[in-house]
């Protein structure tokens, strides 16, 4: 990876979770400084290729863009471990030569980085990534420090769950009927849900309720909405 791969990441928003400081990143990822671990959820690599295989005229290039953003984060934060919180590949049809070659080139550039994939529902259909990539594949929950890395949001008796799957988003309303939908982090007791890292993934509109903190991502920053 080189400095030319991508612009430097925008400043994070630190929050306290499970007794640790974690950083919500505008690139829709989570950084745990004390453990030097980067968490990303729901890349859905090859989703556009899957739709094109079904005859849908959707844009190409999302896999390349997603991996470039991820490379920029690795270059900036220098983690010792990268944890994918499920749905790395979108479907079996996503295993095209271009997608797998792009993933292999990215993995080669990441060197000896320890990569772990917590299986998600799409991984079960797409199949594990090629063994040549050196990505460990585990089932949820995957214990790491004070956290349980999961794909599906759930509770854990002793660990703070970090999950994906839902692609949380929210709508902000302006004048008249204007509104914009933004991806967001969702934090509540014992559960932190990450927005989808991948482009072209859609989103679940998170209802606001007491005890739930929402952190929208937009304009290269993360901020906290007032409590409900």
Determine, yes or no, domain membership for 173: yes
* Within-domain flag for 126: yes
Closest C-alpha to 220, from 20, 52, 12, 19: 12
Answer whether residue 217 is part of any domain.
Answer: yes
The more confidently predicted of residues 208 and 78 is: 78
CATH of the domain at 110: 3.60.21
pLDDT score for 94: 63
> Is residue 2 one of the residues assigned to a domain?
no
Does residue 77 belong to any structural domain of this protein?
A: yes
For 86-107, the pLDDT digits (tens) are 888 866 566 677 788 888 899 8
- Binning pLDDT at 50, 70 and 90, where does residue 51 land? very low
Q: How many domains does the chain have?
A: 1
Find the domain containing 129 and state its range: 12-222
Q: How confident is the prediction for the chain on average, in pLDDT?
A: 85
pLDDT at 177: 63
User: Which range has the worst mean pLDDT, 5-19, 66-80, 169-183?
Assistant: 169-183
Q: Rounded to two decimals, what is the model's pTM?
A: 0.87
Tell whether the torsion through CA atoms of 47, 187, 32 and 184 is positive or negative: positive
pLDDT at 226 over 90: no
Residue 220 has pLDDT above 80, yes or no: yes
Residue 180 in domain: yes
Reference 147, options 13, 41, 39, 12; nearest CA is 39
Quick one: residue 103, left, alpha or beta (phi over 0 = left, psi -120 to 50 = alpha)? alpha
Within-domain flag for 5: no
Over residues 64-74, the pLDDT tens digits come to 888 999 999 99
The yes-or-no verdict on residue 202 having pLDDT over 80 is: no
Query: Residue 138's beta-bridge partner residues?
Result: 118
Residue 108 counted as domain residue:
yes
pLDDT digits (tens, 9 = 90+) for 27-43: 999 999 999 999 999 98
């Amino acid at each position: 990876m080189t400095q030319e791969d991508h612009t430097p990441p925008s400043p994070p928003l630190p929050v306290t979770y499970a007794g640790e400081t974690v950083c919500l990143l505008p690139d829709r990822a989570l950084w745990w400084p004390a453990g030097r671990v980067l968490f990303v959820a729901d890349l859905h690599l090859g989703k556009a290729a899957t739709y094109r295989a079904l005859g849908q005229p959707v844009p190409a290039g999302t896999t390349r863009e997603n991996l470039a953003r991820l490379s920029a984060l690795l270059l900036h934060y220098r983690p010792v471990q990268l944890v994918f919180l499920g749905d790395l590949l979108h479907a079996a049809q996503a295993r095209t030569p271009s997608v797998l070659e792009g993933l292999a080139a990215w993995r080669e550039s990441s060197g000896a980085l320890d990569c772990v994939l917590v299986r998600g529902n799409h991984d079960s259909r797409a199949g594990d990534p090629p063994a040549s990539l050196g990505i460990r594949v585990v089932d949820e929950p995957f214990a790491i420090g004070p956290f349980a890395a999961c794909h599906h949001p759930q509770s854990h008796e002793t660990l703070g769950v970090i999950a994906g799957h839902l692609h949380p988003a929210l709508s902000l309303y302006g004048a008249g009927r204007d509104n914009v939908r933004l991806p967001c982090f969702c934090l509540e007791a014992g559960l932190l849900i990450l927005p989808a890292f991948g482009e072209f993934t859609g989103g679940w509109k998170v209802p606001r309720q007491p005890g739930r903190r929402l952190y929208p991502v937009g304009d290269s920053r993360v901020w906290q909405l007032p409590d409900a």
